[in-house]
Structure 1
Amino acid sequence: MEFDEVVRRRRMVRGYDPDRPVPPELIDKIVRHGLRAPSAGFSQGWSFLVLTEREDRDRYWASTADGDGRPGDWLARMRTAPLIIVACSNKSVYLDRYAQPDKGWQDRAEERWPAPYWDIDTGFATLLMHLTAVNEDLGSCFIGLPAARVGAFKEAFGVPAEFNPIGALTVGYRGSDKRSPSLRRGHRPVADVVHHGRWASAGEV
């Protein structure tokens, strides 16, 4: 598929065919493409938990269930995904990397960082996985973990303390799906979000 077509077809898919597992060779391709993402200082402070077995996927949904644990319509459809990839970032890898001689910082002070690049870079990698899924005619959707359930998730899967889950990518062949009501908002006009030379205020020419 041409790259322009991949970008055009990219959207968040929330319904999957539960009877069509993702072939192992495609899972490997998706993950390996994600690892080609850029990272500050080539730190690569990320790790990915790949869940394909039903028992593991059920444990993921159980450990991250919010409220009364009963899934709403969209979540019930999401649970049909045969593949879940949980993206985790590791801040300490970046702090250690930038305290090394070639980076010039003498300590691991976090306040030098204008943004959490450990999360940003892990997001880059996850987006490459998402686009690879689209290129392979698969659907996928990136979702966050409820903040109150992060500890339960980490305990359920033995995630080391230094890793923080930034979200999960569900992947599978498309099944019954509904367009998100959010899409009715449409894309914001380019002129509202892209600024050339200086930041233009609303209404400026």
Structure 2
Amino acid sequence: MELREVLRRRRMVRRFDPGRPVGRAALDAVLCAAQRAPSAGFSQGWDFVVLTGEDEREAFWSAVARGSSDGPSGGSSGEPDAWLRGVSAAPALVLCLSDPDAYLDRYAEPDKGWTDRDPARWPVPYWDVDTGMAAMAMLLAAVDEGLGALFFGVPPTAHDRVRKAHGIPGNRRLVGVVALGHERTRVGGSSRTRPRRPAAEVVHWGTFGGADPGLSGVAGEGPSDR
């Protein structure tokens, strides 16, 4: 599939068909794409915990929901809402973990020279940024494999329980989760109620608020209209 078609088709899927498993070849392709993501200093400070067994996935959802009213399930009645019922049916979950130490160690090497390993040197936590890019690569690869996918976060109050449930070391950060499967029914999300911001609003030329010089004085449709 052409890249522009993958980008056009990519969307967050929130209802999965539990009766259609993710084939191993497709899953491997998605995970391979994640490992091709860029990383600062080629640190590759990410790990992916893949949950395909029913018991594994139930352990994850139980860890997320237990004793929490701010989890993905929403609400505090104890009953799963439509979001949780739809997403928990996904036959594969990939926990996306970042490893800050991998970056601090890498940049303490001779070609970088930050021997103090001070996180304050980093303008933003690139270990999380790069893991997010790996997750995006998975979302795009899923489209190419004919799968539906969703990236979602885990409430901070549940992180320790998820670590315990799946043996995740304490020095790993749980950036988010990619759910994979086949879409069951399409539901309207924010993209149905909130229009995509046009390029003229989000792309700034030369300075914040600067207009596209290539469109100056040109009438007709702009890139955002196509």
Q: TM-score, with normalisation over the residues of structure 1?
A: 0.95
Q: Note the 1:96-111 alignment, pairs <5 A.
A: 96-111=105-120
* Matched-pair identity in %: 45
> Once the 2 structures are TM-superposed, how far is the Cα of residue 44 of structure 1 from its aligned partner?
0.4
Q: Which residue of 2 aligns with 1:56?
A: 56
Question: Given the alignment of the two structures, is residue 145 of structure 1 paired with residue 148 of structure 2, yes or no?
Answer: no
> Does structure 1 retain, via aligned residues, the 8 Å contact 2:204–2:210?
no
Matched, 1:3 2:12: no
Q: Which residue of 2 aligns with 1:19?
A: 19
List alignment gaps of at least 5 residues for structure 2: 70-75, 217-226
Number of matched pairs: 203
User: How far does residue 192 in structure 1 lie from its aligned partner after superposition?
Assistant: 1.3
Aligned to 1:74: 83
Mean Cα deviation higher: 48-57 or 175-184 = 175-184
Q: CA deviation at 1:25?
A: 1.1
Query: Which residue of structure 2 lines up, in the alignment, with residue 197 of structure 1?
Result: 206
User: Normalising by the residue count of structure 2, what TM-score does the alignment of the two structures yield?
Assistant: 0.86
Structure 1 position 136 matched with structure 2 position 158: no
> 1:23 & 1:43 partners in 2: Cα distance?
30
Deviations 1:56-96 (A, max 9, x none): 01111110113244321111100110010010001111011
Gap runs ≥5 in structure 1? none
Which of these residues, 169, 174, 178, is aligned with residue 165 of structure 1?
174
2:99 pairs with one of 90, 100, 119: 90
CA distance in 2 between counterparts of 1:26 and 1:51 reads 15
| Structure possessing the higher radius of gyration over alpha carbons | 2
* Residue 38 (structure 2) pairs with residue 29 (structure 1): no
Question: Post-superposition, which runs of at least 4 consecutive aligned residues in structure 1 deviate over 2 A?
Answer: none
**Alignment RMSD (CA, Å):** 1.5
- For the 8 Å contact 1:14–1:178, the answer to whether it is kept is yes
